[in-house]
Amino acid sequence: MAIAIILYSLHGHITALAEAEKEGVELNGVQCDIFQVPETLDADTVKALGGKPSTYPIANREVLEKYDAFLLGVPTRFGSMPAQWSSFWDATSALWVKGSLHGKLAGVFICSSTGGGNESTIANVVTTLVHHGMIYVPLGYYNVMKKLSRMDQIRGGGPWGSGTIAGPENEREPTVIEKKIAREQGRKFGKVYWKTIH
Ligand SMILES: *[C@@H]1O[C@H](CO)[C@@H](O)[C@H](O)[C@H]1NC(C)=O
């Protein structure tokens, strides 16, 4: 009876949002554990990209089978999910055949360089969720209307899920408001999950 956050984070932006999502989930008294998908780039390439790999335990098929609901942290790569994420999903066809993930809940949060691809990335992840028969839970607007409609500062995310904008050199850090939106997504997702099990 728990929610897993599964993420890929090269520069720590998704990690910062994940910690806020976890805080939000836990406000419902629901257990929440964070995992990462395996890296597919070699160590030299990660270094050349200035990567700061995260230290969470590695997600595998057992994690997908054990947990009831998932918040997925997916940085944008040219408008879609990165190879690390797609290769993780490629390894789940045995679960797909058995329907192991059928009916489990999933929400998505993202990070992009410029804002571009924020929605298409999540829409592409939803395609995978659909094939597994998983139930996509959007962030929506209702709980975060004021935060999402502020025009006085740049912010990532939207009704599809929370998000941050890293900047083309990954120089920008997630802002207070982006982390608050992430926390709210976690809180709302945890609440939806709590309702489905009671
Ligand atoms: C997010 O994506 C939508 C749809 O492509 C786009 O209209 C919006 O400007 C993007 N957000 C940001 C902050 O760039």
- Beta strands 31-36 and 163-165 are unpaired
| Pure H helices in the chain | 13-26, 43-48, 61-66, 83-90, 93-98, 118-132, 145-148, 176-197
Query: Which residue matches tokens 């050349």?
Result: 48
Per-residue pLDDT, 1: 77
Q: Which two tokens stand for residue 97?
A: 């055949």
Q: Which CATH superfamily is domain 2-197 in?
A: Flavodoxin domain (3.40.50.360)
> How far apart are the CA of 157 and the centre of ligand 1, in A?
8
Ligand 1 near 164 CB (within 6 A) = no
Tokens describing residue 49: 């990209």
> What is the mean pLDDT of each successive set of 10 residues along the chain, which is 198 residues long?
95 98 97 98 95 95 97 97 97 97 98 95 98 98 91 94 95 96 98 92
- Centroid of ligand 1 to alpha carbon of 61 (angstroms): 33
176-197 and 13-26 helices, crossing angle to 10°: 40
Contact 184 CB / ligand 1 (< 6 Å)? no
pLDDT at res. 56 = 98
Q: Does any ligand 1 atom lie closer than 6 A to the CB of residue 162? A: no
> CB of 178 closer than 6 A to ligand 1?
no
Q: What's the CA-to-centroid distance between 146 and ligand 1, angstroms?
A: 17
**Predicted local confidence at residue 62, as pLDDT:** 96
With a 6 A CB cut-off, is 54 part of the ligand 1 pocket?
no
AA letter at 173:
E
Tokens 């990335």, residue located: 121
Its pTM stands at 0.97
CB 85 within 8 A of CB 129: no
Tokens 């740049």, residue located: 154
Q: What is the pLDDT of residue 181?
A: 97
Segments in 99-169 forming alpha helices (H): 118-132, 145-148
Asked if residues 185 and 161 have their Cβ atoms less than 8 Å apart, the reply is: yes
DSSP annotation string for 20-52: HHHHHHHTTT-EEEEEEPPP-S-HHHHHHTT--
For residue 12, the model assigns a pLDDT of 96
